[in-house]
A and B are shown apart, each in its own frame.
Chain A
């Protein structure tokens, strides 16, 4: 069994890395938001995998996964509203054009 837990954790790690890469490489604020969602989904996959393969963590795992879902939803709401606000001011979703403030 432990071998297949590793497989899920590696998959979650890959998903998390894709999310991180997307966050660092993309210029579009919406794509960056999506990358963050991908990272949070990787976290949830990790939690569910631990819950499914380790009997003592089963109940806790479901609860934590639900909490993470709720937090991710709240974050997406706030994030999208900020993106809309800045889009109205700037007419562009590209973050490297948000460069008014410089050292």
Chain B
């Protein structure tokens, strides 16, 4: 360990420090919301600055356990942005329910340290630590409204299934470590390359270890058939938390998948490729079919987020074909950013609607919104069109890149392209149903007008602008995504 090693973990250290500072602020100025928010936003800006500064010089540190490359920088900036947006959406909602904002901000920023660790990990054990640091605050956030029966119910389901899957992942990790003799991602890849070349056999223990790792990860991204915790955890959580849960832990788990499957298990891609194809097909189809039957918009978006997991998995399936290695990863990474902007935005609109307590996320709550609250209704329409994948929005290019990569890959991944297109068409029905309610139905009675806080308004505009920009000029993000994809494949 040297000073240079310590310098590479500066963003991570800063994130933990900022979370600590937020807590200290709350102790010094108890219950004050503005100072905690200022410390959080300034701290997040510092973290982002450090990410960019450290990311300018790709390096490995701590004997290969930690690696900073273009992928790290891209994902880290995405995560910091999502955390900042969540902090903009949360204050109004929390204040209406007498929930403490400073604690919320501190827990959220602790979770950030977890995802920063995942995206810069060169070691399976560090990946696992990052995963735990990411999900533990997530359980707390899901149960943040601790007097609310729904919130705690969602939290306990999220926690039980989450730690169950962590144990499965860890059991697999123990076997892979014991039988390859290393937890370094490069080391595992080297050992697997020897197996593929035929110089050493694939022992049953190692195969079992790899299967357990895959299962553990499939739980974390909520791939069908490991998804059944998702709808309850998402529906029960306070709405700004749902937005966060649907983006950060999911994209974070995808970062883990990229490090694990592409980095460590890459040599075996011919063997796991069919598993990913099956997972992707089942996840897209089931997520969309069940979303069709939902009346709660929050629960519908939970199932839609499962479907989006399926679309993202197509990128990984495309990677395993030599024709479309870079394209598949580019598609997946682009999808991550687009999904973050549009999904956070959609949940933020629901959070804004629920600013006054007692408003459900049922479809009826959206009736007549176009006349009552044109600003919210137009933004919601934009986010929903983007989730459907209609141009010129971020969701269109995200789906286009993924599907193009799948077509280029051919084989089983090519079939996924067809399934994805059919799914996107079916999904349009339930997304547009919300738009129909907003603009063509009259509300029962006359609901009170909605007051939007300044931060909330700003956050919504940022999410909307990102959704539009990624849909109008995808060329802005493409070179960055390309560099990130190449950093991983090198």
Structural contact, A86 and B155, CB atoms closer than 8 A: yes
Structural contact, A47 and B174, CB atoms closer than 8 A: yes
By beta carbon, the residue of chain A nearest B139 is A78
A4 within 8 A of B: no
B343 within 8 A of A: no
Structural contact, B149 and A46, CB atoms closer than 8 A: no
Structural contact, A46 and B178, CB atoms closer than 8 A: yes
Of A19, A40, A78, the residue contacting B159 (CB under 8 A) is A78
Structural contact, A16 and B146, CB atoms closer than 8 A: no
Alpha-carbon distance A43/B212, docked complex (angstroms): 12
Q: Which residues of B contact A82 (CB under 8 A)?
A: 139-140, 143, 152, 155-156, 159
Report the minimal beta-carbon distance from A31 to chain B, rounded to whole angstroms: 11
- Give the B-binding residues of A (Cβ under 8 A): 9, 16, 19, 23, 29, 32-33, 36, 39-40, 42-43, 46-47, 49-50, 54, 56-57, 60, 64, 67-68, 71, 74-75, 78-79, 81-83, 85-86, 88-90, 95, 98, 100-101, 103
Of B143, B146, B174, B235, the residue contacting A50 (CB under 8 A) is B174
Q: Which residues of B contact A68 (CB under 8 A)?
A: 170
B10 within 8 A of A: no
Structural contact, A101 and B140, CB atoms closer than 8 A: no
Report the minimal beta-carbon distance from A36 to chain B, rounded to whole angstroms: 5
B486 within 8 A of A: no
- Give the A-binding residues of B (Cβ under 8 A): 125, 128-129, 132, 136, 139-140, 143, 146-150, 152-157, 159-160, 163-164, 166-168, 170-171, 174-175, 177-178, 181, 183, 205, 231-232, 235-236, 290, 293-294, 299
Cβ contacts A to B, 25 pairs, < 8 Å: A19-B167, A42-B171, A43-B174, A47-B174, A54-B178, A56-B181, A67-B125, A74-B132, A74-B136, A78-B139, A78-B140, A79-B163, A82-B143, A83-B156, A85-B143, A85-B152, A86-B153, A86-B156, A90-B149, A90-B152, A100-B150, A101-B231, A101-B299, A103-B231, A103-B290
Of A9, A60, A85, the residue contacting B183 (CB under 8 A) is A60
Q: Assuming A9-B205, A32-B160, is B150 touching A101 (CB within 8 A)?
A: yes
Q: Chain B interface secondary structure, helix, strand, loop or mixed? A: helix
Q: Assuming A75-B163, A86-B156, A100-B150, is B175 touching A46 (CB within 8 A)?
A: yes
Alpha-carbon distance A36/B161, docked complex (angstroms): 10
Structural contact, B163 and A101, CB atoms closer than 8 A: no
Of B140, B181, B294, the residue contacting A54 (CB under 8 A) is B181
Q: Chain A interface secondary structure, helix, strand, loop or mixed? A: helix
- Across the A-B interface, give the 10 residue pairs with the lowest CB-CB distance, nearest first: A50-B178, A39-B167, A86-B152, A46-B174, A89-B149, A85-B146, A98-B153, A85-B152, A43-B170, A101-B232
Extra pairs beyond A71-B129, A78-B136, A82-B155 (11, CB < 8 Å): A19-B167, A29-B156, A36-B164, A39-B168, A64-B174, A74-B132, A75-B163, A82-B156, A98-B156, A101-B232, A103-B299
Report the minimal beta-carbon distance from A102 to chain B, rounded to whole angstroms: 9
Q: Which residues of B contact A74 (CB under 8 A)?
A: 132, 136
